[in-house]
Amino acid sequence: MIYTTLPHTSLEVSKICLGTMTWGKQNTEAEGHSQMDYAVEQGVNFFDTAELYPIPAHPDRYALTEKIIGNWFHKTGKRDKIVLASKIAGKASFTKFIRTTGFKKDGLVEAVNGSLKRLQTEHIDLYQLHWPERSTNYFGQRGYKHDISDFWQDNIHQVLETLRDLIKEGKIGHVGLSNETPWGTMRFLEESKVHKSLPRMVSIQNPYSLLNRTFEVGLSEIAIREKIGLLAYSPLGFGVLSGKYLGGQKPENARITLFPAYARYSNEIALEATQKYQDLARENDMSLTQMALAFVNSRPFLTSTIIGATSMEQLKENIGSIDLVLSEEILQGIEAIHEQHPDPAP
């Protein structure tokens, strides 16, 4: 395993982070525990979860994933071996059953306390805002469309104050963003620069893959210059970059087969690009899965790649990607395809 340091902290994290959002829906608790056991054996020390998980979000499954992780900590006694990250759900129609207060003080305090209880721990190492409160472009929206009627009062100072107090109480260690834009990222960073008592965002969890490299426009420079590390999610585009959906295939129990609404990475152009990436991988005697993950692992602005799997076979292949180094010839081939199909699935 390769390890990196979470920016502006002393925390060493594995460059492969274990994602958990299928546990409690597509995976049983026993399967989740087996995944954690195997990941730790392979040197993975970084777990990412959220109060929203498992997906799709539903009142009957609320926060089951955190409970599964908490039970594993209780069973194994390995909490001190893991850098643990979780997230507060943002405002949305599909999260009204969680809360409607967004990132107001009471909402943040309630969310952190709930996660701590479910995770059976006294602290969360990295606590993240799952998506912005304001109306902006995330979750597959390509461009920003300003709605003058959608008034949003900038409450970033108050959010950071609440997070600071939670840090002082020892409930969380560090804070990060997720699904954030360049404006939002710099707004948070500047607030903590001007007001020295406020905590600094140390990471940003955004989508990044061969099918979605929009992070490179604006955010990659911020990540490098400001030292805010990318935690790349959906590095396989909901499994599309495994190639299993090519040719109109609908594998049984696969995410997009089960949840057709998750079509973010499977439009016609994205599948066309995926076929070309698969051809390139085969020409170089490697799986598309490992080539796609190795590409993400190689980026200079990356801190960790969040992988997710529903089977042990998938998990082993995903974690094994850390040992693969892409040649300059393969990287040039990837760039040639990217020029033909730039970001088909934002």
On the 0-12 / 13-18 / 19+ scale of CB atoms within 10 A, 194 is exposed
CB-based contact 253:26 (threshold 8 Å): yes
Rounded Cα distance between 321 and 112, Å, is 33
Query: No. of H helices and E strands in the chain?
Result: 11, 10
Exposed, middle or buried by CB within 10 Å (0-12, 13-18, 19+), for 267? middle
Torsion sign over Cα 26, 35, 80, 161:
negative
**Gap between the Cα atoms of 161 and 214, Å rounded:** 30
* Whether 127 contacts 49, CB under 8 Å: no
Q: Specify the pairing of strand 12-14 against strand 46-48.
A: unpaired
Q: How far apart are the C-alpha atoms of 104 and 112, rounded to whole Å?
A: 12
- Look up residue 221 and give its two tokens: 């420079």
- Of 3, 53, 245, 277, which residue is the catalytic one? 53
Joined together, the tokens standing for residue 247 give 């040719």
Sign for the CA dihedral angle at 258, 259, 260, 266 comes to negative
| Spatial CA neighbour of 239 closest among 224, 227, 254 | 254
Task: State yes or no: is 3 an active-site residue.
Answer: no
Whether the bond between 132 and the residue before it is cis, its omega within 30 degrees of 0, is no
Q: Which residues are catalytic?
A: 53
